[in-house]
Amino acid sequence: MSLDQNSRIVVVGASLAGTRAAEELRRAGYTGDVVVIGAEAHAPYDRPPLSKQFLAGSWGRERIELRPAPRWTELGIELRLGERARGVDVAARRVAMEGGELIGFDGLVLAPGATPRKLDLAAGLSGVFELRTVDDAEAIVARMEAGATRVVVVGAGFIGSEVAATCRARGAEVTVVEVLDVPLARVLGEQMGGICGDLHRRNGVELLVGTRVENLEGDASGEIRRVVLSGGRSLDADLVVVGVGVVPETGWLADSGLEISDGLVADAELFVADGIVVAGDAARWLDLGQGEHVRIEHWTNAAEQGVVAARNLLAGRGRGEPYVPVPYFWSDQYGVKIQVLGYPRPSDDVEIVEGSLEEGRFVALYGRAGLMSAALGFGMPGRLMAYRKLLEERASMHEAMMHARGS
Ligand SMILES: Cc1cc2nc3c(=O)[nH]c(=O)nc-3n(C[C@H](O)[C@H](O)[C@H](O)COP(=O)(O)OP(=O)(O)OC[C@H]3O[C@@H](n4cnc5c(N)ncnc54)[C@H](O)[C@@H]3O)c2cc1C
């Protein structure tokens, strides 16, 4: 069926990718029904502030709403919040809801995002959190307001590092425990990962690398008290935040027949089946620029992919535009903005082209097989975007270096 005014498009996932997709449907002139289903009870909100301003206590819920409430009504978009889809019947074109209702669709946008990995050791203990939702963030803030001052962060990835920085700024004594010898080495390589690690140390946070959490111990009432580490050391703790990565939220689609392999596997136009597109953290799509399927867990990707997925759904499979981004993400830690453009790999060559390690602010370019692959900005927010075009144009490392030198 064509997506005309009598049709219905269902969006599963009421967060960034789902919001951008739903809005784009209207912007592109779609006049049929748009129904957005979200398992969380809250109106769509933004996650990056959860580890930054919201955790710091400087922003409340009203500052993180993605859209003011009347906007949804203005756009004629039905939001069904606090409701979870439990499956999709691809052939019958129906979404099955928990509770039994079946919602028919003519087009479907899947934007279910990702969910944090948990530590099994934490089962049954109070004071151990992951950070994905505003409810998680509120619970962590409440714990700190109730007097928790000894914070252990498990995992020195971007979210763990931001939590460490924000808790430190709130006056907590913070230890970060990282299993790798160099934090972020698998994303940024050893040299740049090492620099990110030093940032913790320079700001009074203890960073324990090459260290594993062996056990979490609570008191008689089940409150976290100690984190036992490999090597035998143990840390007193009254708050533990676990940041050991996320997994795509696709378990509910296991019986759908859609291909799932670390995400919903999509073609270059973001289709997972005829009339069904995917966007955001859950999407593993064929990036024609890279010549392989990739999945990205960052804000800008979810926002841009939501828009393209909606447009392609309206255009129809085979008539849409391939999604070929220059990926971008940022992280704010201890007042330093870390930004990355492109697809860095740990084995890439790295050249600092602006600023310097001594100044603690620089731009570094990543290169692979003679081509520029990525750019990293460390404390130079105004400078990084100048390198975007070079990545778009697939500049050689030589051209990129010349550009950086202004010649
Ligand atoms: C604390 C934090 C800080 C971050 N900071 C940054 C940053 O500084 N820079 C950056 O680039 N990125 C950052 N990110 C990542 C960025 O927020 C995510 O990439 C983005 O939220 C992904 O959007 P999404 O819409 O794909 O998925 P999500 O935001 O995960 O949303 C998916 C939604 O779908 C719902 N859902 C899932 N399954 C179902 C179902 N079956 N039925 C109904 N609803 C369902 C979920 O409940 C959820 O609300 C951060 C993330 C977190 C958690």
pLDDT tens track for 64-81: 999 999 999 999 999 999
What pLDDT was estimated at residue 342? 98
Say if 2 falls within a structural domain.
no
Residues 304 and 346 in one domain: no
Judged against a pLDDT cut of 90, whether residue 50 lies above it is answered with yes
What pLDDT was estimated at residue 406? 82
Whole domain around residue 297: which residue ranges?
8-115+247-315
Per-residue confidence at 123, pLDDT binned at 50, 70, 90?
confident
In whole angstroms, how far apart are CA 122 and each of 233, 303, 336?
Answer: 18, 33, 31
Domain-terminating residue out of 223, 244, 265: 244
Say if 360 falls within a structural domain.
yes
Residues 56 and 104 in one domain: yes
Residue 395: strand, helix, or coil: coil
Residues 139 and 235 in one domain: yes
Q: Which residue in this structure is represented by tokens 């909100």?
A: 45
What pLDDT was estimated at residue 279? 99
Task: Using CB atoms within 10 Å of the CB of residue 356, give its burial: 0 to 12 exposed, 13 to 18 middle, 19+ buried.
Answer: exposed
Domain-terminating residue out of 261, 287, 315: 315
Judged against a pLDDT cut of 80, whether residue 122 lies above it is answered with no
Cα-to-centroid distance, 281 and ligand 1 (Å): 7
Q: How many domains does the chain have?
A: 3
**Beta-carbon contacts of residue 348 (< 8 Å; ≥ 6 apart):** 189, 366, 367, 368, 373, 374
- 325 near 357, Cβ under 8 Å? no
Cα-to-centroid distance, 47 and ligand 1 (Å): 6
Residues 165 and 110 in one domain: no
Residues 252 and 238 in one domain: no
Q: Using a 6 Å CB cutoff, which residues line ligand 1?
A: 12-18, 37-40, 47-48, 50-51, 84-85, 111-114, 131-132, 159, 249, 252, 280-281, 297-300, 302, 329-331
Judged against a pLDDT cut of 80, whether residue 365 lies above it is answered with yes
Residues 123 and 240 in one domain: yes
* Pocket residue to mutate for ligand 1, from 11, 15, 97, 187, most atoms within 8 A of Cβ: 15
Residues 229 and 122 in one domain: yes
Domain-terminating residue out of 221, 244, 267: 244
Say if 309 falls within a structural domain.
yes
Q: How far apart are CA 67 and CA 74, in angstroms?
A: 11
Tens-digit pLDDT profile for residues 316-341: 999 999 999 999 999 999 999 999 99
Residues 154 and 218 in one domain: yes
Say if 323 falls within a structural domain.
no
Residues 296 and 196 in one domain: no
Cα-to-centroid distance, 114 and ligand 1 (Å): 6
Residues 260 and 237 in one domain: no
- 138 near 27, Cβ under 8 Å? no
Judged against a pLDDT cut of 60, whether residue 10 lies above it is answered with yes
What's the whole-number average pLDDT of the chain? 96
Alpha helices by DSSP H, listed for 170-298, are 185-188, 190-202
- CATH number of the domain within which 167 lies: 3.50.50.60
Per-residue confidence at 407, pLDDT binned at 50, 70, 90?
low
Say if 391 falls within a structural domain.
yes
What pLDDT was estimated at residue 5? 87
Return the ligand 1 atom nearest residue 114 CA. Answer: 30
Q: How far apart are CA 327 and CA 56, in angstroms?
A: 28
Cα-to-centroid distance, 15 and ligand 1 (Å): 6
Per-residue confidence at 1, pLDDT binned at 50, 70, 90?
low
Say if 293 falls within a structural domain.
yes
Average pLDDT estimate for 146-152: 97
What pLDDT was estimated at residue 124? 85
- 241 near 154, Cβ under 8 Å? yes
Average pLDDT estimate for 244-260: 98
Say if 305 falls within a structural domain.
yes
Of all residues in the chain, the percent with pLDDT exceeding 70 is 100
Residues 140 and 210 in one domain: yes
Residues 265 and 219 in one domain: no
Judged against a pLDDT cut of 60, whether residue 217 lies above it is answered with yes
Q: How far apart are CA 276 and CA 407, in angstroms?
A: 47
